[in-house]
Amino acid sequence: MTTDLARDLTAVREATERLLTAVRGLDDAAVAEPSRLPGWTRGHVLTHLARNADALVNVLVSARTGEHIPMYPDERARDAAIEDGAGRPLAVQLDDLERSSSAFNDAAAALHSGDWFRTVELRGGATGLAAEMPFRRLAEVELHHVDLGIGREIADLPGFFTDGLLAQVAGERFAGREDVPALIVAASGAHGGREWRTGRPGGDPLRVSGSPAALLGWLTGREAGTGLDAGGSPLPSLPPLG
């Protein structure tokens, strides 16, 4: 995907401050309540956000130094860290998220211009450019802010972010997957629409059209697809974004 590094870094800082401001309005009881993610409390979501920032620091340090530092030690350790931290009180959660978010910003600021074009290793052996990491962090912050269920919705997300993540999900992350039905995802827009052929190869794809926000909400499992047009057919079930 194409990146606008300065824009993405600024957007991460702004989105993080919005998130922290909203979370400061909670209390310990609210942190222990269920989030919108099945099986996760708000404490799980907040802990995940902190550990994800730490993991992306590892990725950025690898890009700067050339040293191989795993994003996470392994999947079991990643999951255990989230479970272990989920029950912490609000003050501890906030301190952790503030610290880890600042560490991400500092790690990004330490990179030289050439470092951003280095290939880095992510979870599961996936790779990407270091320059893609700010947008990846932005996606974590924005989507999980929605998952907290404390006032922010998909429709509130910045237009450039919605458009960019929709293109990434429809055009890349779901493309060719056998567990995703064959789809043509058609986004309307003020300056003309965009379409992606995604999901299972072959077959007769179902065309689903609508606004970028409605499509992103459905594809990421955050919304049921209200307002989308599937030509009279029911919207198919989709796997978790992962």
Q: What is the pLDDT of residue 107?
A: 99
pLDDT in tens, 198-231: 999 988 999 999 999 999 999 999 999 999 999 9
Q: Which residues of the chain have pLDDT under 70?
A: 1-2, 190-192, 242
What span, in angstroms and rounded, lies between the C-alpha atoms of 87 and 151?
22
Residues 6+ apart with CB under 8 A from 201: 176, 182
What span, in angstroms and rounded, lies between the C-alpha atoms of 110 and 170?
33
In this prediction the pTM is 0.95
Place of tokens 């600021």: 109
Name the nearest CA neighbour of 135 among 166, 179, 113, 176. 166
C-alpha neighbours within 13 Å on the C-beta side of residue 174: 28
Q: What is the pLDDT of residue 2?
A: 62
What span, in angstroms and rounded, lies between the C-alpha atoms of 84 and 107?
25
Contact assessment for residue 119 and residue 127, using Cβ atoms and an 8 Å cutoff? yes
Q: What is the pLDDT of residue 242?
A: 64
Tokens standing for 74?
């392994």
Q: What is the pLDDT of residue 193?
A: 83
DSSP state of 74: -
* Domains of the chain (ranges, CATH numbers): 5-152 (1.20.120.450), 159-219 (no CATH)
